[in-house]
Structure 1
């Protein structure tokens, strides 16, 4: 045997050894089936207590009558017990036993469906008096989760249509009210039985108002891997057009179902092998391989300058964005490997594989494009470029964008949405169907969802460059907007909040506002000042108050005459208000049609409207000689007639501007900016005061007198608005907390942000408050007792171990401790127009009261600051000992309430 032959044999052996040594551990740890008796089960019988009243979106504020008795979790089943309630016969609610409508149980999963209804309530009569608000109610149900076997089971729990629940002694708020199934909690259940208490809340927006008022919910437990896993199968990736991806970024959603924090080391194509000489991979080597993980501060469509690590704390779900390209021209799928390691264990690298089938589309057909939402995660829209045979007026080189906004519960890539305008294939426009980030459009096409619309539109020029488009260009500031149902409401929002971008609008079967859709009746009683503050928090979304903003814009309305989902009254009311505002509009009640029909987006009148308005050559923004407009929140509002309101005197009240020629009159307005193309070198008269605009196109009010120039305001831009302003983040949210006492709530906040907005967040533990506020994203601080320091030592709301102190608009200091269990939720400023939302409690109960106010569901009405007393658990808003708004200098407004 020659020496060279021996060397070859030895080399082959060593190569085999090293190849085996660098194999990664699989991420999906198989379930241990050696214990044949291991299983999961949910109760087939449930203890039920109810019904009790609840108002539209009131559950976020607490308002649970059983909390007056210590909470449902403190009560034991007693068939003879009676509880005061305003809904049932005799004014009493009782216990009952109900059977789950369906249950299933296996070694790795368990499922139970509940259908709750009450016959001891005269729902029909209540609806005659209170409308749909009367069929909203709440109840509680108790059951058990049973784990058999001999070891702790890691599971995820889906809570379809459930907002709040307790498992043993752990409280969960947020749930999965819209059945998204994006971010279920991770539970580590020991063998035995575990009590689960469900707060059941019937909401007309989610359950409907016509059929029998039942509450139908599903609990679904599934075994988890106990390590990193895919929270959603596949990859969010663009379609293929012309042999290449329409967009170069993609996203995967990951969940850490283990007990240790996990760091994502890198993401690379499955074909890329690690160096054979490394038994344990150097993270920097893996990160050097393409594609790269996008940096958290990356908010445009350019390639990132460097890769960054991503950490998922135990139980967290996060979307991870990365660069992507096709390895070959004609492939049907892509395959990637996520490499990761446990932060608290050794340096061993594990891997998780993910694949995604590709969809190839004609470049002229609606196809999926991806882009970065300003919140730092990947979103998508369906884009249809102008057709080859489009015949546009000569000289129209830059075409407008026709936006089609989908209804609640629909994805933009659903054929009903993406192909709704196929019957009009040759429009002189770019047709785009945004997703608004989620099937419910984030927040009804308002703050978060509308930001997604603007990001989608602004991604078109990048698409043009990326795919080498040779057709007509795009004018991203010329919009024709339409939409159905919730998308119709979104069309009203776009029309009233970006009037200087809107060429024309066609809202279809939409509602006027959340309050007009389902009235805010049956809330717990509260004094009128508190009512006014909650209502003022929603000023920006009352379209019936904003119709003046539509003047000069062609509007076509359409509504099914017999719509039993969104009453046609909504459109008829807005049609009347448009007329009174002097707006050119057309209204069509479509005979014998309900909420939806196949050609709802392409009726004859709509087709004519699309063709006419896509060739509309009006100059945008329009210069109007006479107009009015109304502002609910300057942070949400664009300009009208070239005038932008940048600050209100009292942000809890509407600001109004009346313009006649060069005469401007204002009400509750503190500062304005004027568009140079329309107002430069004009002399204007503002509230009777003559101003020369040659040097400055910004004016502000100081001591009752208007002056040219920018005001020196501490609060501006993205910081303006009520508590929902926290959603105007630029980059992932930073959720920071103090440790074990607050970790559970911080994780819930992160989970809710992803569940309801698909948002990304970084969860940071700080033993002592440090500098984790640095970065680009907004910050949410979760605290008990000791609060993080403020950038402004004189901030009007101070919290700490001694309680809460509030400085009112007159400078008087109010101490709100009195030994009470308090919770506080309030905004504070950070640098670069960033915000911090402080969620604070004097104890765990107080923190739970505050944390539920973090923006999640639309229509709740959270002002800038709220201090909740213990009675808020059952009294709701009336249990707030202080609430209200901050002005442009972060001082408390006179309209705020301090008890």
Structure 2
């Protein structure tokens, strides 16, 4: 909303209108009628203000035009007030009263459903010009939660399809955009009326782009126990195959609904014996620093406050807890466990009983297996081993490949539509596995977090073989055939372009080319092109249309419904063309008369023939190719191709390229690794430098050698590693989303203030909501991030209360006056907090390729702005560092004072913006 471009008189008129509106008496929204004296109720009438422009995934950056006048929360209802907006007729938005489509109450809960639409916008014409981007917009709604009776209530608040809201002036960012219902906030509400301000954001990927562009949301408030409780019913555990568990690890999701921290001290099978006393527990506990799973009578020791020694849930937190599961007897129909816990302020014990009915099936059918995700929590996949009657060729390898089938958005892997999608081809010569990607939306579209789950699922198959005593064909976990539908089709493109040396073949069906090609990034707030270029560059690794040369030499069978109105067939047509233009190729099947999904979408005759042909293939991987090209958006995401892996880019804000045709030519590449079994030359010519591979030192053992460009010349060996903190590598590479490459639970540490604890809990809640991640919250930042757990660290700090970085000369230094940024030329830029709120988010190194993500604010508002950029939704575009001014609240990306990338020495790159 470009208010600054309006004439002075119009601006004055608007500001007078805003001020008048702010001074008028608030209209009280009537609460729903009480029936049988329910304890809670939500408004049946809501005050709604909108619509306003918003771009694809832009809301994370703020971009709310009402923030220019102090924010919606400071406005009072006024039907005569008008607000400048680029969408409605006459360019003005206004208030209205909207009745909830449904309200209900019960003895323990209350609901209110809202459906918001605008007839004063010519959506059809806007779509003609801007496509689906035009039917994304934002608005605000205000209602009330009423607590009846005389006592304070502990409640949880579900916010389906809502990203951001305020309750009694307290800000909650993250919400539940995909209606996961995994981690609602715990609220302590006193009797009376409580204001709820809801930011409504319409997103095509979440709401659709074909029908009338409504925003449909639900608020559900529910009483909670005020103590430890199950956040999700039951136990996540494997199926029972032929009488035995398919895997031994299980998990429960717990929520601390009280106001004091709770420690989990024991999980015991109730079939074995009742829970024991704390004194008995303490005498039996052993240290288990390297374990991420609790065994009976054993609690994981961690660095926790108040002398707690087990797993701690701070007040209001939701955490998954992993533990070993076994069957007490052969013929039981369920398993039952007792969780023993205590508050960290006392030795008084409490117990929580949990149970799960068993699912029994045959080892040869698709069944649930569980395993540990690198993030430390339990995940699952559906596994179908090779059938007894699979007729594999006599000369075929003893170890069969893995056929991955990636599901679409909104589906669980154990859904019949997914787990039985390949039932029509039961005798494939392959291990068929259906990963979940951790969540129904695959965490992050099968990219970083979701793809780590894919690899963990594949790597768990050898353990499954030993655990169940499998005597059939072995598995080769480094030979993949990848297929998937919709978002899973996009995930197939990701696997194909990022792990080419593992891919035997690929069959992407109805997948989109990239986030930007699916729903265009039009209608963002106007911004400096250098800033939008940084956002685009931070998504380089996910733009498959730019990465098609990585697929060279790999058999590909594309498929798309001709009439697809969800993911247009243009996406597959585009990638087929890009494959051809890059020297690769594919078979393309566009199915006449079919839309996005039909019952046999993954078993059409073309796909069935492709599965049988490719699973019986005996091609050697990695392939030895005479000529090929690699394009790299993020070396931290990228595997090898043709036996060559890019380890470092010169400027991570730009693509790197390697072309091989007897000689090697590179662009924007600093370091390469060669697999000698594939690249068998004694010497290579690279950018006209001749390098002997026999002189190079291996990074991962005798089978690999590394060469690096130093002072413009390629030489054997890695770049100087005398101090590993000084050099960025491996899991540290990439944009802000690199923080998701954690090895263990996230560590969230803060100053212990009300402001920082609220943000810490919000970050913890969002990481669990959107990634099902585990987090440990610690109210202390008295030291740097070393020696705290094994996972990546998120540090939350105000003003100058930030421990010094392990890096001795880090280019970003917050202080009591603001923040200092040193640009690529060594010039220092001071951003002062004297007249504005500042927020900053940036990565910095920890030992052993760990990362710390710092969230810093000059005050509470600046800190809240920084916290918005913790990875959550895909497509947002979060670079390595951002310094936000107060204007980002309404300008979005253009309100970033500095933003960009760190190179391999943790220096700010020339492609960054430091203004």
Partner of 2:449: 448
2:709 to 681, 701, 724: 701
C-alpha contact (below 8 Å) 1:287/1:307 kept by paired residues = no
Aligned-pair distance for 1:273? Answer: 3.0
Q: Which residue of structure 1 lines up, in the alignment, with residue 196 of structure 2? A: 196
Distance 2:511 2:296 in 1: 39
> In the alignment, what sits opposite 2:569?
568
Any conservation in 1 of the 2:649–2:668 contact (CA below 8 Å)?
Answer: yes
Q: Say if 2:736 is the partner of 1:723.
A: yes
Moved more, 760-769 or 549-558: 760-769
Query: What residue is the counterpart of 2:691 in the other structure?
Result: 691
Paired position in structure 1 for 2:458: 457
1:514 paired residue number: 515
Alpha-carbon distance, 1:301 to partner:
13
Cα distance in 1 for residues equivalent to 2:257 and 2:402? 42
Contact 2:266 2:298 in 1 (8 A): no
**1:632-711 correspondence runs (5 A):** 632-661=633-662, 663-696=663-696, 697-711=705-719
Q: Residues 306-360 of structure 1: CA distance to partner in whole angstroms, max 9, x if unpaired? A: 744210000000000001110001111101100000112x211100001100001
* Per-residue Cα deviation, 1:486-525 (whole angstroms, up to 9, x for no partner): 0000000000000000000000000000000000000000
**Whole-Å Cα distance in 2 between the matches of residues 319 and 748 of structure 1?**
16
Task: Give the match's secondary structure for 2:648.
Answer: strand
The 5-angstrom pairing of residues 64-79 of structure 1 reads 64-79=64-79
CA-CA distance at 1:296 after TM superposition: 7.2
Q: C-alpha offsets along residues 726-772 of structure 1, whole Å, 9 cap, x if unaligned?
A: 00000000000001221000000000000000000000001734666
Partner of 2:282: 284
User: Are residues 78 and 51 of structure 1, via their aligned partners in 2, closer, same or farther at CA, if it must alter by over 3 Å?
Assistant: same
Partner Cα distance (1:766, 1:772) in 2: 13
2:742/2:791 contact within 8 Å kept: yes
Q: How does 1:74-85 map to 2 (within 5 A)?
A: 74-85=74-85
Q: Which ranges in structure 2 are unaligned for 5 or more consecutive residues? A: 1-34, 302-309, 697-704, 722-726
* TM-score scaled by length of structure 1: 0.93
- Conserved 8 A contact 1:298-1:731: no
CA distance in 1, matches of 2:849, 2:297: 23
Partner Cα separation in structure 2 for residue 681 and residue 388 of structure 1: 43
Deviations 1:94-128 (A, max 9, x none): 00000000001133110000000000000000000
Q: SS where residue 115 of structure 1 aligns? A: strand
Provide the C-alpha distance between the structure 1 equivalents of 2:116 and 2:125, rounded to a whole number of angstroms: 20
| 1:4 corresponds to | none
SS at match of 2:133: helix
Mapped pair 1:438 → 2:453: no
Give yes or no for contact 1:839–1:847 (8 Å, CA) kept in 2: yes
Mapped partners of 1:231, 1:567: distance in 2: 38
Q: In the TM superposition, what whole-angstrom CA distance separates every residue of 1:772-819 from its partner, at most 9, and x where no partner exists?
A: 652210000011112222101310001122210000011111111151
Give the equivalent residue in structure 2 for 1:541. Answer: 542
Match of 2:10 in 1: none
CA gap 1:301/1:535 in 2 versus in 1, 3 angstroms: farther
Pairing of 1:140-219 with structure 2 (within 5 A): 140-219=140-219
* Correspondence for 2:593: 592
CA–CA separation in structure 2 for the residues paired with 1:672 and 1:306: 43
Residue 884 of structure 2 aligns with which residue?
868
Deviation at 1:390, TM superposition (A): 1.0
Find the aligned partners of 1:362 and 1:544 in 2 and give their Cα distance. 42
Shift of 1:866: 0.1
Gaps (5+ residues) in structure 1?
1-34, 289-293
Residue 270 of structure 1: aligned partner: 270
**Does the aligned pair in 1 maintain the 2:267–2:296 contact within 8 Å?**
no
Cα displacement string for residues 373-406 of structure 1 (whole angstroms, at most 9, x for unaligned residues): 0000000000000000111122420000000000
Q: SS at the partner of 2:347?
A: coil
What does 1:35-50 correspond to in 2, within 5 Å? Answer: 37=37, 39-50=39-50
Of 771-780 and 554-563, deviating more is 771-780
- State the distance in 2 between where 1:670 and 1:535 align: 22
Shift of 1:711: 1.3
1:525-567: CA deviation from partner (whole Å, max 9, x where unpaired): 0011001100000000000000000000000000000000000
Q: State the secondary structure of the residue aligned to 1:432.
A: strand
Whether the 8 Å contact between 1:804 and 1:816 is mirrored in structure 2 is yes
Distance 1:366 1:726 in 2: 33
Alignment match of 2:770 (pick from 756, 760, 766): 756
For 2:755, the equivalent position in structure 1 comes to 741
Give, in whole Å, the separation in 2 of the partners of 1:700 and 1:183: 46
Q: Please give the secondary structure, in 2, of the residue aligned with 1:408.
A: coil
Q: Given the two structures, how large is their TM-score scaled by the length of structure 2? A: 0.92
Contact residue 231 and residue 255 of structure 2 kept, 8 A:
yes
Matched, 1:486 2:487: yes
> What is the aligned partner in structure 2 of residue 23 from structure 1?
none
Separation in 2 of the partners of 1:773 and 1:189?
Answer: 38
Please tell me the root mean square deviation across aligned C-alpha atoms, in Å: 1.7
Aligned to 2:390: 390
CA–CA separation in structure 1 for the residues paired with 2:299 and 2:123: 60
User: Could you say which residue in structure 2 is the equivalent of 1:766?
Assistant: 780
1:485–1:511: 8 Å Cα contact kept in structure 2? yes
Deviations 1:829-885 (A, max 9, x none): 000000000001000000010000000000000000000000000000000000000
Aligned residue for 2:4?
none
1:56-112 superposed Cα distances (whole Å, 9 cap, x missing partner): 000000000000000000000000000000000000000000000000113311000
Residue 305 of structure 1, CA deviation: 9.6
- Compared with structure 1, are the counterparts of its residues 579 and 767 closer, same or farther at alpha carbon in structure 2 (3 Å cutoff)? closer
CA contact 2:340–2:350 (8 Å) conserved in 1? yes
- How far apart are 1:681 and its partner, in Å? 4.5
Relative distance call for 1:136 and 1:469 in structure 2 (3 A) is same
Query: Matches of 1:119 and 1:518 in 2, distance apart?
Result: 23
Q: Which of these residues, 855, 859, 862, is aligned with residue 875 of structure 2? A: 859
- CA–CA separation in structure 2 for the residues paired with 1:52 and 1:808: 36
TM superposition shift of 1:579: 1.3
- Tell me the distance in 1 between the aligned counterparts of 2:269 and 2:622: 47
User: What SS does the aligned partner of 1:678 have?
Assistant: coil
Post-superposition shift, 1:286? 7.0
C-alpha change, 1:191 and 1:315, in structure 2 (3 Å) is same
**Counterpart contact for 1:297–1:731, Cα < 8 Å:** no
- State how far apart, in whole Å, the 1-side matches of 2:333 and 2:298 are: 29
Task: Tell me the equivalent position of 1:229.
Answer: 229
Does residue 797 of structure 1 match 2:798?
Answer: no
Asked if the contact 2:42/2:145 (under 8 Å) is kept, the reply is yes
Post-superposition CA distance 1:2-24 (Å, at most 9, x none):
xxxxxxxxxxxxxxxxxxxxxxx
Instruction: Tell me how far apart the structure 1 counterparts of residues 577 and 112 of structure 2 sit (CA, whole Å).
Output: 48
Which residue of the partner structure matches residue 579 of structure 1? Answer: 580
Alpha-carbon distance in structure 1 between the residues aligned to 2:78 and 2:784: 50
Cα deviation, residue 581, structure 1: 1.9
